[in-house]
Amino acid sequence: MARATRIAAALVCLVGIILFAYAVPTFYVQLRDHCIGQACPAFYDTPPTAEWLAARGWTSAWFAAAYTAVYTLFGLVYIGAGVLILSKKASGLTGQVAAVALVNVGLSFGSLGQGLSVARPELAVPLQLLEGLGFCALYTLFFIFPSGRFAPRWTLYLWLAILVPGVVRTAFPEWIPVPLYQGWSIFWMASLLFVQIYRYRKIMNPVEKQQTKWAVFGMASAMAGLFSITLLFLFANSVLQRSPLLLFAADGVLELSMMLMPVALAFALLKRRLWDIDPIVNRTVVYGALSLFVVAAYVLIVWYLGMILRTSSTWFGSIVAAGVVAVLFAPLKNGLQRKVNRLMYGENDDPLSVLTRLGRSLENPLSPADALDVVVRTLKDALRVPYAGLRLHRNGASFMAAEIGGRSEETWTFPLVHRGEAVGELLVAARSPGEAFTPSDRRFLDVLARHAGAVVQSAQATLDLRQSNEELRDSRERLVLAREEERRRLRRNLHDDLAPRLAALAFTASAGETLLESDPAKTKAILAELQTVIRMTVTDIRRLVHDLRPPALDELGLVGAIRERMNDLNRPLRPDSASGGGGSLVFHLDAPETLPPLPAAVEVAAFRIVTEAIVNVVKHARATECRVRIMCPASGDGLELEVTDDGKGSGGGAARDPIGGPGGIGLQSMRERAEELGGSCRLERRTPAGSRLWAYLPVAEQGGESA
């Protein structure tokens, strides 16, 4: 199928090229021999007279050659673009349709085909068919460009609904009235515009959008030239018809503007990596609007001064108009350039206003996430880019904190730095595939990135503070729960053990009192039992008090209490002991002779941490030596604790994880005791064996004691 359509397109183009080659000399002869000083069916403008040519020293051959050259150049550009597209097999069906359209428009748009049909009436029907086929191909091209498909499906039915009346009108003009034909013309023009906008926004990928920009630019430029010359003929036709030079100039401008369409189509279909068309569109819009203003201002001033001065002389008005236009040209050009730049590129040339607007937005109370969203939204709106994102670096990891728009593969990265530290990155997609940012864009992004770094740092600080608050709240919750559990345990011990025991002591004493006279021997036994229970009760009470605060701290101080605890544990280990090994464990204590005054909470936490650590060494390490160091930094604002051992069971790790015992609840308890006071605690593995527990407790005024 593809081969058949390609052969058919090539045959149609070949017929058009042959007729074009035949039409060029035929049109020249018709214009030279039959169109001087009289109406000429081969030429739609008013030809000059022989007297007008003779007065200027020109001949009819020059006149015919000038017009033939313009129409030939126009045809060659269209036919050349069509043949080039077809020969390169560009874009399949789209290229074939474009080639047929361009070749036949090059033949029929000017007067070459008209001159050939006048000179050779037998070729009128083939020329009319080719003209209709060229129109159908051109119309179809804008329905399938650039993919070669009718997408979405309903565009096929719209294409048929418009194409059928056009074919009927071409073949049988009398069948369709003029008003209906005019309505049909307006409808198909509007449908082309609607379909292109819909396909551009909903269907096309980025490369196809870039191709469409080129095609639309060429078509828009051609239509602008056609529309301008049409208006000129409508409002100044009498002036034009009296001046053959103005007619020739108008024809030349029209043909040159129409040549932009095949050039743009060739770029869109042949060039793989398309040049960025936005700067071309930018300059075209600016200078097109500026030219219209200059012409309109000049004509208006000359007309107005002529009306006021009541004179037909235009030299004075021309001088004044030229002066006004010269004065207004530069500021108007700069103003138009700024407006068009802002429309196409955003506010890249005015970073101050963007930063001012960003600052005003950030003045409102915003969460960190909302503040980062404001930054990326401001960037996207200011530069008119399809995507903007913000990636944060936090705690050694990177994550997307905010983004807006559809992310593409071609994304540019701009680092965010605050006080010499990389805090994140700005991710910005180019406005179109393959397009690079202009120097103005880069300057704008650099300025915005420097200011956005402070916003990101502030957001990160807020997030860190929020996380710290959450961790502090969790720690306080754990502390409250631990204290409530401890209170519950004390209450249970007092209520379920000591209270009944004390009540039993009262009953026992009462029984002894009753039997004192009647049975002294029984009373003596009761009193002996009473003494044993009282001793047990005292022991339990001392244990409860010890859990609240070890008495040794008050009696011996921190260093003495730790040494006493080490003496209790410093005994030969039996082979069947819990350590699972033989030999003996030797403790060493390195501590200053005297410690500075410590808050009670620090003393209790230090004692608990050290005793938990050495009990863990005894139970799990299978060590022969354990060294405890207590250090006070020179600044005197903290207390450092270090417990090291040479345990053989520390290498595997599993044997050391269940740190704990009767005196505490393990490593987690030691960490929490340190963190409650604003310190830290960590357990490290030593090489080749053993472990090291290190804790730091800040020495400051504490609000209370920790148990």
Q: Which of 215, 196, 219 is nearest to 85 (CA)?
A: 215
Q: Which pLDDT score, from 0 to 100, does residue 285 have?
A: 59
Strand spans (E) along 461-515: none
Q: For residue 610, name the pLDDT band (cuts at 50, 70, 90).
A: very high
Of 234 and 296, more confident = 234
Lowest mean pLDDT among 68-72, 234-238, 358-362, 579-583: 579-583
Please say if the pLDDT value at position 314 is more than 60: no
Whether a cis peptide bond, with omega within 30° of 0, leads into 206 is no
Of the two residues 706 and 677, the one the predictor is more confident about is: 677
Is the confidence at residue 163, as pLDDT, over 80?
A: yes
Q: 11-64 pLDDT, tens per residue? A: 988 998 999 898 889 888 888 888 887 777 777 777 888 888 888 888 888 888
Consecutive H or E run containing 388? strand 387-394
pLDDT, tens digit, 9 for 90 and up, residues 646-658: 887 543 333 344 3
Distances (CA, A) of 592 to 220, 589, 629: 91, 10, 9
CB 400 within 8 A of CB 428: no
pLDDT of 313 strictly over 70 = no
> Could you tell me how many residues make up the chain?
707
pLDDT of residue 273: 47
Asked whether 26 and 115 are in contact (CB, 8 A), the reply is yes
Q: Which residues, at least 6 apart from 410, have a Cβ–Cβ distance to it below 8 Å?
A: 429, 430, 433, 434
Torsion angles phi and psi, residue 631, rounded to 5: -130, 145
The reported pLDDT for the residue numbered 580 is: 41
State the pLDDT at residue 628: 94
Q: Mean pLDDT across the stretch 620-624? A: 83
pLDDT tens per residue, range 88-122: 765 578 888 888 888 888 888 778 888 888 888 88
More reliable by pLDDT, 544 or 316: 544
pLDDT at 302: 65
| pLDDT tens digit sequence for 143-162 | 888 778 888 888 888 888 88
Reported as a single tens digit per residue, the pLDDT across 328-372 is 666 776 666 666 555 555 555 556 566 666 666 666 666 767 777
Answer whether the bond into residue 688 is a cis peptide, omega within 30°: yes
The predicted model gives 186-192 an average pLDDT of: 81
pLDDT for residue 175 is more than 80: no
- Residues in contact with 637: Cβ distance below 8 Å, sequence separation at least 6, in sequence order: 698, 699, 700
Pair of tokens at residue 636: 């005197």
> Which region among 173-182, 291-300, 438-447, 636-645 has the lowest average model confidence (pLDDT)?
291-300
How does residue 581 score in pLDDT terms, banded at 50, 70 and 90? Answer: very low
Name the band, by pLDDT with cuts 50, 70 and 90, for residue 316: low
For the stretch 624-679, pLDDT in tens is: 889 999 998 877 788 999 999 988 754 333 334 433 333 345 777 888 888 888 88
Q: What is the pLDDT of residues 237-291, one digit of tens each?
A: 787 878 888 888 888 888 888 888 888 888 777 764 444 445 555 555 555 666 6
Fold classification of 553-698 is Heat Shock Protein 90 (3.30.565)
Report the share of the chain in percent with pLDDT over 90.
Answer: 4
State how far the Cα of 631 lies from the Cα of 642, in Å rounded to an integer. 8
Domain ranges within the chain, ordered by starting residue: 553-698
Higher pLDDT, 254 or 170: 254
Secondary structure element (H or E) that encloses residue 404, with its range: strand 397-405
| 543 pLDDT higher than 90 | no
Of 321, 317, 299, the C-alpha closest to 308 is 317
Percent of the chain with pLDDT over 70: 75
CA distance 605 to 625: 24
User: Which segment of 182-196, 423-437, 646-660 scores lowest on mean pLDDT?
Assistant: 646-660
Task: Give the pLDDT score at 548.
Answer: 67
Report pLDDT digits (tens) over 452-469.
777 777 777 777 777 777
- pLDDT for residue 630: 92
DSSP run (H or E) holding 628: strand 625-631
Residue 591 has pLDDT above 70, yes or no: yes
Give the pLDDT of residue 654: 36
Of 646, 693, 697, residue with least CA distance to 666:
693
Mean pLDDT of the chain: 76
Please state the rounded mean pLDDT for residues 442-447. 76
Mean predicted confidence (pLDDT) in 183-188: 81
